[in-house]
A = this chain, B = another copy of it.
Amino acid sequence: MLVELSNHLAEGCPTVEDFLKAEGLAYHFAPIPSNPVYVIVSYINDTQIQYLQSLKTVSKITQIGTSYQLASRKWKKNSTVVKTGSLEIGGEYPVLIAGPCAVESEQQLYDIASFLSKNGVKFLRGGAYKPRTSPYSFQGMKKQGLELLRKVANEFDMKVVTEVLDYSLLDEVLEYADILQVGTRNMHNYQFLNGLGKVDKPVLLKRGLSATIEEWLLAAEHILLGGNEKVILCERGIRTFETATRNTLDLSAVALVKELSHLPVIVDPSQGTGLSKLIAPMSVAAIAVGSDGLMIETHNDPDNALSDGHQSVNFAQFEELLHQLRNISRLNNRPFDFEMQTVNLRSR
């Protein structure tokens, strides 16, 4: 903790010094001519920070080092591998999570899951409860959507990834889902995150619309601190001044988070760009920077999708994407999980 003084006392500030002594905190005083500072060596708690922060003689307090601990690679060197059944995220193979933005009908979901499964995809995504900016938009099939997800996923031996819109819906979603998605609008909802810390299922934590990397990792910290270590981060674009794309997909954040944290990171180029034509190039780029997987909105008939059709790929586009992903995976010497199954199936 670095404490800057506002009144430039070359001799130090008695109030600050008295407090540090009274609290038994180790510190150094550095009489920088224009800005004398105290560097506090001991651990300092929240109340102590608050006290210092509000002293008139203190102009600024700066945290030294990271504010998250459990999410940091300093705390845990080895990359975390999140397991659900026999499947792994953050392990040897990048994963592919695909499916429609919203579950619309059993037939739709069956067709999509059947197609994905044939191509080796093992994670089925789909929205049952949809968060929509306008109250006049389609709000999802709700509980019926969850039931369909489970039923169809079981048929193809796939895992269900779906969003928990609100803490009040947690129990319901827990009954049907394998991986609980926290949407961008909920990343700052700490009460909810604390609740997810008590759950024994993986949580896919999307980055907030305007969350810094540090805030994103602190959100993960809320879950980790509750005891749930199965956290998967998901970059999905941030809000900037640019309006030509829906969001600005921040791939440098992926590369950086892989260094700062041991948690797996995947990328959602559908939400991240909002334009189906940008999904393929940004998917390949995401893998190139080290993403542990991709989440792709896929639809049998995007032109008639009830939600986000313009940012979904159709089957032909998806197959072309798989082709490109196979290429980049060869380049990386890190094949995708969907390639694994294809190999296995062939070898039978």
Q: Which residue of B has the minimal Cβ distance to A310?
A: B53
Q: Is the CB of A50 within 8 A of B252?
A: no
CA of A189 to CA of B281, assembled, Å: 31
Given the known A-B contacts A47-B138, A54-B310, A289-B281, are A250 and B256 also in contact in the complex, defined by CB atoms under 8 Å?
no
A222 within 8 A of B: yes
Report the bound CA distance from A129 to B202 in whole Å.
26
**Count of residues in A whose CB is under 8 Å from the partner chain:** 106
Q: What residues of B have a CB within 8 angstroms of the CB of A306 in the complex?
A: 46-47, 50
The quantity of this chain's copies bound in the complex is: 4
Let me know if A282 and B289 touch, CB within 8 A: yes
> Shortest distance in angstroms between A22's beta carbon and chain B's nearest beta carbon?
13
269-301 of chain A: CB within 8 A of chain B: 272-273, 275, 277-278, 281-282, 284-286, 288-290
Contact surface of A with B, Cβ cutoff 8 Å: 2, 4, 8, 27-35, 37, 39-41, 43, 46-47, 50-51, 53-55, 62, 64-68, 74, 129, 131-138, 165-169, 185-186, 188-192, 194-195, 209-210, 212-215, 218, 221-222, 225, 238-245, 248-253, 255-256, 259, 272-273, 275, 277-278, 281-282, 284-286, 288-290, 302-307, 309-310, 327-328, 330-331
